[in-house]
Amino acid sequence: MELIEYLEKVGNQVDRLIDRYFGDPVGELNKASAHLLTAGGKRLRPAVMMLAADAVRKGSSDDLMPAAIALELTHSFTLIHDDIMDGDEVRRGVPTVNKKWDEPTAILAGDVLYARAFAFICQALAMDAAKLRAVSMLAVTCEEICAGQHLDMAFEDRDDVSEEEYLEMVGKKTGALYAASTAMGGVLAGGSQPQVDALYRYGMNIGVAFQIQDDLIDLLASPERSGKDRASDIREGKQTLINIKAREHGFDLAPYRRRLDDAEIDDLIQQLTDNGVIGEVKATAEGLVTSAGKILAILKPSDEKDLLISIGTFFVERGY
């Protein structure tokens, strides 16, 4: 099976389950919780988890669908809370929860999904001990995501963030949930500790690469494709790798920390392409994915392992 075909299959499975549990919400709080979750999304974390599970023990992923949903809920909860903190108004082409409702409702809507994520893990068909390990992993991961978001915000007040600091932040904010996705897949499928460790490291690498690509998309893709404001990171002064590499090239993005029109953004992209910044950022993401593939040598060959490796490549090649 081709990756795109696989992602579509899992995406549809996830969508159906999400529709079953969140498709007909009763009351404003449940509507707010379901809002972003049912507005689409690529369902990549569930797909990554299921591939990791099947790469460890073929056929195990069907039993683990509730845990895969838990990852999507966790992702959605962090987006809802992040949008409050960042004051964002559009996400996935729809108004954010804080915009459509208000901040208190958005805090609670995120908290509701947070709770349900843990409830869903408990419903997976797996050994109790494995499910408890998965609960612990998700808990540690949520804490890391918070630490990553906190660093991300702290970086906004600084103009001297190093590449190393950026990679640490992104590892927590985005890498950790992909790492948890692969590792939880391994744990719930009954993988050995070395397998689970390798899956964790693999997920971390491709997760960081994913975020770097996301930063590129924020700048390069049209709002119609990305579902977000264009160049919002630069407007908000986010310290992305683009920002850091630009500074290394003596190109200061601080003057662009304001609402930019389309012509200004196009001109900025041209400059960052000409001076090599865009190319270097892409190369960093690609390097992470290339080295990630080697980590999975511990898993025996299988179609699912191949798909898991190709998802890393997809992460840095996607345009939205």
Query: Given the rule CB under 8 A, which residues bind a copy of itself?
Result: 27-29, 81, 84-85, 103-105, 107-108, 110-112, 114-116, 118-119, 121-122, 128-129, 131-132, 135-136, 138-143, 146-147, 149-150, 153-154
| CB-based contacts of 317, cutoff 8 Å, min separation 6 | none
Residue that the structure tokens 């499928």 belong to? 189
Q: How, if at all, do strands 94-95 and 90-91 pair?
A: antiparallel
Least Cβ distance, residue 238 to a copy of itself (angstroms): 14
Please say which residue, 143 or 303, places its beta carbon nearer to a copy of itself.
Answer: 143
| Cβ distance to a copy of itself smaller for residue 115 or 283 | 115
Which lies closer to a copy of itself via its Cβ, residue 105 or residue 226?
105
Q: Tell me if 204 sits within 8 A of 171, measured CB to CB.
A: yes
The closest of 126, 58, 63 to 304, measured between CA atoms, is 58
Alpha carbons within 13 angstroms on the beta-carbon side of residue 228 total: 21
Residue placing its CB nearer to a copy of itself in the complex, 81 or 305 = 81
What contacts 207, CB < 8 A, 6 or more positions away?
171, 174, 175, 176, 177, 178, 179
- The least CB distance from residue 156 to a copy of itself, in Å, is 11
Do the Cβ atoms of 278 and 242 come closer than 8 Å? yes
CB of 217 to a copy of itself, least distance (A): 24
Burial class (CB in 10 A: 0-12, 13-18, 19+), 33: buried
CB of 122 to a copy of itself, least distance (A): 5
What minimum distance in Å lies between the beta carbon of 110 and a copy of itself? 8
CA atoms of 104 and 205, how far apart (whole Å): 35
Q: Which is nearer to a copy of itself, 57 or 150 (CB)?
A: 150
Residue with Cβ nearer a copy of itself (96 or 284) = 96
Nearer to a copy of itself, 175 or 312 (CB): 175
- Distance CA(55)–CA(68), nearest Å, equals 15
DSSP states of 158-172 as a string? -S---HHHHHHHHII
Q: How far is the CB of 37 from a copy of itself (least distance, A)?
A: 15
Q: C-beta of 33: minimal distance to a copy of itself in Å?
A: 9
